[in-house]
Structure 1
Amino acid sequence: MTRRVQILVALVLTALWGAGIYAGHANGHLRFLDRLEATLTDWRTQVRGVQAPPDLVTIVAIDDTVVKRGGSYPLPRADLARVVDTIVQFKPKVVGIDLLLVDRSAAIGDATLANTLATGPMVLAAAAIFPAASETVEPGAQGPLAALPQAERFLLPLPAFADHAEVGVVNVATGQSGSPLSVPMLFRTSDKVELSFPLRVATRALDKPLTIAPDHLMLGDRAVPTDSDFALPITYYGPRRTIRTVSAQSIFDGTLNRAAIENRIVVIGASVSGGGDFYPTPFDSLMPGVEVISTAITHLVAGDGIVRDRKVHIVDALTAILLPMLLVGLLAWRRSAPGIIAAAVVMIAWAGLNLFAFTHGVWLNAATTLAAAVPPVMVFAGVQLWAGGRRTQYLAAKSRSLAQFQAPAVQEWLARDPNFLSKPVRQDAAVVFIDLSGFTTLSERIDPDELQHLLRAFHALIDKAAVDSGGMITGFLGDGAMILFGLPGAMPDDGARALQCSIDLYRSVDRWIASLPPATRGQLGFKIGAHFGPIVASRLGGSHQHITATGDTVNVANRLMEVAAQNCARLALSDTLLDAADFHGAPDGILSGPLLTQVRGRSGVVTVWFWRDQNGPGQPATKAEMID
């Protein structure tokens, strides 16, 4: 597959993964994400910090002080009646009793409490009993109420009490961490629907009609956003007693402040140590259930609850699909460090946006998005690293292969500038040609393997001389080669290095031929021509290109080998090369000339000098030896 197809497949698979994660979690699977979300929610709440709640609710706590006074818990009904009666006298908006009054006690105490409940606006707590740990939906149920938590039955207050008050279900919904994250507003059994305790209290306090819309509630003309199952998400203002709390003992002592009760919502509940009605929250490991309920009441009345409704779920679904695709796309677009940095920036931006939304009242799911994004990004990044390693190995092998054909300086230049010589360049350069004499005749008489061995040894000598002097072999011409000095850029010492390369070639090839067996040695000779002048450097070829030089300078350098052969010499140098090299004589060498001569295929005269090694192993070649 092409890279574009591979990226497209990766993006499609990433989108399917994100959609699958979101759908699986929304349908009640992947429960481990609930614990992660609860942890992240606690963290976001702590980052947001403690907030002052709207001062609407007062909690009258039946705490340890009250129990020590009375000597027992639950509080005797007569004492509870005294607490309620005192509160009613201070004229609250509504009194909510977050205590289950489901069992009979002393007759006089029950009668006293019943009479007291009839004196003011009251809401009593009921409890929903569920048949299993998981809430079920009745088969065939239709409409928005089908998603409600379905209870097996309700534990209702005794009729003697319920006849004088409204009743609301007090259950809360806890996540796997045990922290209440929401409070269901509606509950149902097979034949009835009950309102929650906070909703009953808030409706009575606001004195506005309640309307159940398909995906939210209406308190009068104000919408109350709820989750898909009509649960009210809650976020805590702070640790316990952040919502105004007074001890019921102040009633028995006669010290209760009227301002804490008058025209306020009052919730009576237990905060007795060991009473069992405590929950862990982000700010407090043990928060009384009555304060959790009071938090929900405050949200309903003040309208400051956190939003997690149908629109938020749509954003969650889109984020679970699009964010992983964006991250994978960035890694695919820029496979190196910039891609990783860009993906990291996007993740940081998403985390910042998620936190910003939470602190401003919108609860975007974090756990589902992380589960949708992290695995495909890690898999794709791993595949990219593996493929990058393979590609690095391939490029390294390709570079080693290229090194066999291009000079190191040209390789470095091509790496910096891939368009090097894409357009022809005219400049001065030095050109050296070398060719074996007698090789064609020899190749007809010796074994091909031996012939190949000779060529490899000869090419190795050329390669060493070229590399040592900084030249570039533009090509091996069978039993010869062309070496260029002036690329990738012209240098002041191009002529001097070309001259040194010519002399080194002369000596190394002369010694090599002298070391061959007599039968081979007697058949071989060599000739070298070197010239300096203007050339045109360019790339030749289509899909397989090579760098070369053309022009009169190249032709003259090539023809100087013929001039050397015609004059029983092995190295012919033009005077322009000697001038460029600033040559004033070579140690251990003999320079003869000048010879004014014409070269084949060119008009005009060339001044030529011949150089030979006075200490070399070979003897001056005869004319017959030098002509191939």
Structure 2
Amino acid sequence: MKARWPITRVVHAVLLLVLATLWSGLLAAWHLEGRETLLDRLEFQLLDLRHLAIGPRPAPDAVVIVAIDEAAIREAGAYPLPRAALARLVHGIADRQARAIGLDMLLLDRTQEDADASLEAALGRARAVLAGAAVFAPSHGAQIHDGAGLPVAEHVLRPLQRFRAGTGLGLVNVSSDRNGTPRHLPLLIAEASGVLPAFSLRVAAAAAAADPVLDADSLTLGPVSSRLDLGFSLPLRFYGPKGTVRTLSAAAVLRNEGVAALLRDRIVLIGAAALGIADTFATPYDPVLPGVEVLATGVAHLVAGDALVRDRTVRRLDAGAAVGLAVLAAGLLVVAPSGLAAGLIVLAVLGWLAATTLGFASQVWLNAVLPLAALAPVVAFGLGGRLVLDRSDARRVAAAEQALRAFHPPRLAARIAQDPGFLAEPSAQAAAILFLDLSGFTGVSERLGPQATRGLLKGFHTLVEEHVSRHGGIVVSFMGDGAMCVFGLAEPDPGDARRALGAALELVPAIRAWLAGTGAFDGAGDVRIGIHHGEVVVSRLGSAEHQHIAATGDSVNLTSRLMEVGKTLGFALVASESLLTAAGEAAAAQAAFEGRCTVAIRGRAQPLAVAYRWAREEVADG
């Protein structure tokens, strides 16, 4: 018959699978939409750990930073760098045949006319890219533009109009997390007048001498294609600490100190790098990475195609892993043992974390936190529910086992509980058998009635169980005022006969004292005990649905006949010589039997040698 699950476990399994599906599905949907949650903060921390685990890598040689550092400021005598000095710097870089020039400076204000004119001429000659900055309203920073997911600027800070002639304009905004670490470079930003490109994109396009081609998930610039995240943003993978992108001091360029070869055919970004002056960002490798190096990282990604990959396909992988692991965990927690399920879930988690690390080494940004967050409530509810249900089942099983033990001898019940297959096949073995019953019981039960007789039998059975169990025997069955006991049923032992003899020698005086104490027998009741040692067959008897442990065979029949011998001889205890031999001479001598003889046994051809003790009073049989 097929076992059925308890309704509580069915309900728990259904709730667990519903929780796994709905919770993981919700997280997956949010992730695919790009909705910002607390999980992103945790993911960024693990992303930093992946940066550190994989380590820095060389930056592309095509990008060079000309830094307005402490040396350049000392030489120029002021910061911001005077427009005339900046003009000479741009002229010097252009003269050295740089492939593209980008100025990470907001040229918003007028200065001396001749200095501004000099810079205007230098910028026009170099066809440089100038920096602008988008300003976002606090409440609209994440506003969606035309369904494309672009950030929408409230207004844009642009360079002076005179500097924009013959130059390109790009926005220097980056997308940072709550700790100030840049994570994405938005390549397009919307404003009222249209869509403006990022500074890094504009510089890279100028270097490639090609217009960027955008589709839903990628950007192609000349021969190089980059896969983009939501909102046409480029995920950043930092190369290393400050200076990993080749950096030259503006002072060295102004003095022409052997920099020509380092600038020729390079993409050059000019920006502040002096401490306390330059804008800086915290990154996994450097807590104060200059902003110009963040922008240079974006340019390098676009020209080398080595940015992190986190497009819709990767996000779908994240979402699939979240749903798959959550449902897998729920299934394991339903069908597998708790320990095994927990172990397999841990292996799955470690496997996913390993996949995210290996993916990062291959420039793929898999989300480490999302599947773990999808798993967490499922595992908590699954293991917690299993714990509660298992404890409930354990209490129920313990109660059922305790109830069943009341219907089996304690030693036998313990053996069956330990080994449910005990005696699934019959076993022939030596054992000591003890039969006993009371004489005069029929008349007593007639006088007392059913209720009082039950109470009398309960006291008798308790007394027999106590003495037999103390000597290691098992009361196989109570038969009204009689009992059958076996020594060696659960675990055969050479001392079985000796223990059976010891139990019999205690039982006779104990039962006689009990009979006298009850007052029900009026001094006329007595006990008859027969004990024998021989081979028996122990097995399970009964149907497939209802079985009991029994000892059968000639030795059992012979022992039951010994009570008849006791009645004939007039003694309470009769033991076969086979038992006395098995018990040993010392035990037989201590038993102080009053006599020995050979008797005929009803139904047997061969007589049997027996010993007897404790003469009985003549009472009515019963």
Report the TM-score when normalising by structure 2: 0.91
Q: Shift of residue 370 of structure 1?
A: 2.1
Q: Corresponding residue for 2:69?
A: 63
Tell me, in whole angstroms, the C-alpha distance in 1 between the residues paired with 2:299 and 2:474.
86
Q: Corresponding residue for 1:125?
A: 131
Q: Shift of residue 314 of structure 1?
A: 0.8
Matches within 5 A, 1:239-318: 239-255=241-257, 257-275=259-277, 277-318=279-320
Tell me, in whole angstroms, the C-alpha distance in 2 between the residues paired with 1:156 and 1:471.
102
Tell me, in whole angstroms, the C-alpha distance in 1 between the residues paired with 2:550 and 2:591.
33
- Confirm or deny: 8 A CA contact 1:34 1:176 kept in the other structure: no
Matches within 5 A, 1:217-228: 217-228=219-230
Q: Corresponding residue for 1:598?
A: 601
| Residues 305 and 272 of structure 1, relative CA distance in 2, 3 Å threshold | same
Tell me, in whole angstroms, the C-alpha distance in 2 between the residues paired with 1:512 and 1:608.
31
* 1:589 equivalenced with 2:592 (yes/no): yes
Q: Corresponding residue for 2:231?
A: 229
- Confirm or deny: 8 A CA contact 1:50 1:238 kept in the other structure: yes
Q: Corresponding residue for 1:76?
A: 82
Q: Corresponding residue for 1:622?
A: 617
Tell me, in whole angstroms, the C-alpha distance in 2 between the residues paired with 1:364 and 1:511.
84
Tell me, in whole angstroms, the C-alpha distance in 1 between the residues paired with 2:591 and 2:494.
25
Tell me, in whole angstroms, the C-alpha distance in 2 between the residues paired with 1:366 and 1:266.
36
Tell me, in whole angstroms, the C-alpha distance in 2 between the residues paired with 1:357 and 1:438.
90
Q: Shift of residue 180 of structure 1?
A: 0.6
Tell me, in whole angstroms, the C-alpha distance in 2 between the residues paired with 1:434 and 1:20.
74
What secondary structure, in the 3-state scheme, does the structure 1 residue paired with 2:382 have?
helix
Q: Corresponding residue for 1:616?
A: none
Matches within 5 A, 1:495-574: 495-517=497-519, 519-520=520-521, 522-541=523-542, 542-574=544-576
Tell me, in whole angstroms, the C-alpha distance in 2 between the residues paired with 1:523 and 1:126.
120
Tell me, in whole angstroms, the C-alpha distance in 2 between the residues paired with 1:336 and 1:580.
51
Q: Shift of residue 28 of structure 1?
A: 5.7
In the alignment, which of 104, 118, 122 is matched to residue 98 of structure 1?
Answer: 104
- Confirm or deny: 8 A CA contact 1:567 1:623 kept in the other structure: no
Q: Shift of residue 31 of structure 1?
A: 2.2
| Residues 73 and 479 of structure 1, relative CA distance in 2, 3 Å threshold | farther
Q: Shift of residue 487 of structure 1?
A: 2.5
Q: Corresponding residue for 1:436?
A: 438
Letter in 2 for 1:389: R
Tell me, in whole angstroms, the C-alpha distance in 2 between the residues paired with 1:77 and 1:133.
37
- Confirm or deny: 8 A CA contact 2:23 2:374 kept in the other structure: yes
Q: Shift of residue 227 of structure 1?
A: 0.6
What secondary structure, in the 3-state scheme, does the structure 2 residue paired with 1:39 have?
helix
Cα offsets for 1:178-197 (capped at 9, x unmatched): 11111111122245222211
Q: Corresponding residue for 1:378?
A: 380
* 1:197 equivalenced with 2:199 (yes/no): yes
Letter in 2 for 1:381: L
Q: Shift of residue 335 of structure 1?
A: 3.0
Cα offsets for 1:27-76 (capped at 9, x unmatched): 46562222111111111111111222222211111123323333432222
Letter in 1 for 2:236: I
Q: More deviation in 36-45 or 67-76?
A: 67-76
Letter in 2 for 1:589: A
Q: Shift of residue 504 of structure 1?
A: 2.6
Tell me, in whole angstroms, the C-alpha distance in 2 between the residues paired with 1:181 and 1:56.
22
| Residues 343 and 481 of structure 1, relative CA distance in 2, 3 Å threshold | farther
Cα offsets for 1:270-313 (capped at 9, x unmatched): 12333362111111111111111111111111111111111111
Matches within 5 A, 1:164-179: 164-179=166-181
| Residues 136 and 42 of structure 1, relative CA distance in 2, 3 Å threshold | closer
Q: More deviation in 119-128 or 604-613?
A: 604-613
Q: Shift of residue 232 of structure 1?
A: 0.6
Q: Shift of residue 407 of structure 1?
A: 5.1
- Confirm or deny: 8 A CA contact 2:574 2:613 kept in the other structure: no
Q: Corresponding residue for 2:328?
A: 326
Letter in 2 for 1:38: F
| Residues 104 and 440 of structure 1, relative CA distance in 2, 3 Å threshold | farther
Cα offsets for 1:421-464 (capped at 9, x unmatched): 12222333222222223333222323766544433332222222
Tell me, in whole angstroms, the C-alpha distance in 1 between the residues paired with 2:413 and 2:439.
32
- Confirm or deny: 8 A CA contact 1:277 1:289 kept in the other structure: yes
| Residues 130 and 586 of structure 1, relative CA distance in 2, 3 Å threshold | same
Matches within 5 A, 1:18-57: 18-27=24-33, 31-57=37-63
Tell me, in whole angstroms, the C-alpha distance in 1 between the residues paired with 2:393 and 2:89.
80
Q: Corresponding residue for 1:617?
A: none
What secondary structure, in the 3-state scheme, does the structure 2 residue paired with 1:275 have?
coil
In the alignment, which of 387, 390, 405 is matched to residue 389 of structure 2?
Answer: 387
What secondary structure, in the 3-state scheme, does the structure 2 residue paired with 1:263 have?
coil
- Confirm or deny: 8 A CA contact 2:526 2:617 kept in the other structure: no
Letter in 1 for 2:26: G
Tell me, in whole angstroms, the C-alpha distance in 2 between the residues paired with 1:77 and 1:227.
38
Q: More deviation in 167-176 or 148-157?
A: 148-157
Q: Corresponding residue for 2:613?
A: 612
Q: Shift of residue 582 of structure 1?
A: 3.4
Cα offsets for 1:353-383 (capped at 9, x unmatched): 2222122211111222222112221222222
Tell me, in whole angstroms, the C-alpha distance in 2 between the residues paired with 1:231 and 1:442.
100
What secondary structure, in the 3-state scheme, does the structure 1 residue paired with 2:264 have?
coil
- Confirm or deny: 8 A CA contact 1:25 1:33 kept in the other structure: no
Tell me, in whole angstroms, the C-alpha distance in 1 between the residues paired with 2:490 and 2:36.
62
Q: Shift of residue 532 of structure 1?
A: 2.8
Q: Shift of residue 121 of structure 1?
A: 4.1
Q: More deviation in 358-367 or 530-539?
A: 530-539
Tell me, in whole angstroms, the C-alpha distance in 1 between the residues paired with 2:392 and 2:83.
80
Q: Corresponding residue for 2:3?
A: none
Cα offsets for 1:461-507 (capped at 9, x unmatched): 22222222222222222333222223334333332322222223223
Tell me, in whole angstroms, the C-alpha distance in 2 between the residues paired with 1:290 and 1:459.
96
What secondary structure, in the 3-state scheme, does the structure 2 residue paired with 1:423 have?
coil
Q: Shift of residue 138 of structure 1?
A: 5.1
What secondary structure, in the 3-state scheme, does the structure 2 residue paired with 1:168 have?
strand
Report the TM-score when normalising by structure 1: 0.91
Aligned CA-pair RMSD: 2.6
Tell me, in whole angstroms, the C-alpha distance in 2 between the residues paired with 1:332 and 1:521.
65
Q: More deviation in 460-469 or 44-53?
A: 460-469
- Confirm or deny: 8 A CA contact 1:149 1:187 kept in the other structure: yes
| Residues 393 and 296 of structure 1, relative CA distance in 2, 3 Å threshold | same
Tell me, in whole angstroms, the C-alpha distance in 2 between the residues paired with 1:507 and 1:203.
112
Cα offsets for 1:203-241 (capped at 9, x unmatched): 222334421112221223543111121111111111111
Letter in 2 for 1:72: A
- Confirm or deny: 8 A CA contact 2:189 2:198 kept in the other structure: yes
Identity %: 38
Letter in 1 for 2:344: A
Q: More deviation in 487-496 or 30-39?
A: 487-496
Letter in 2 for 1:611: Y
Q: Corresponding residue for 2:159?
A: 157
Matches within 5 A, 1:464-475: 464-475=466-477
Tell me, in whole angstroms, the C-alpha distance in 2 between the residues paired with 1:288 and 1:391.
63
Q: More deviation in 264-273 or 121-130?
A: 121-130
Matches within 5 A, 1:109-124: 109-124=115-130
Tell me, in whole angstroms, the C-alpha distance in 1 between the residues paired with 2:431 and 2:616.
29
Tell me, in whole angstroms, the C-alpha distance in 1 between the residues paired with 2:140 and 2:530.
95
In the alignment, which of 484, 487, 494 is matched to residue 485 of structure 1?
Answer: 487
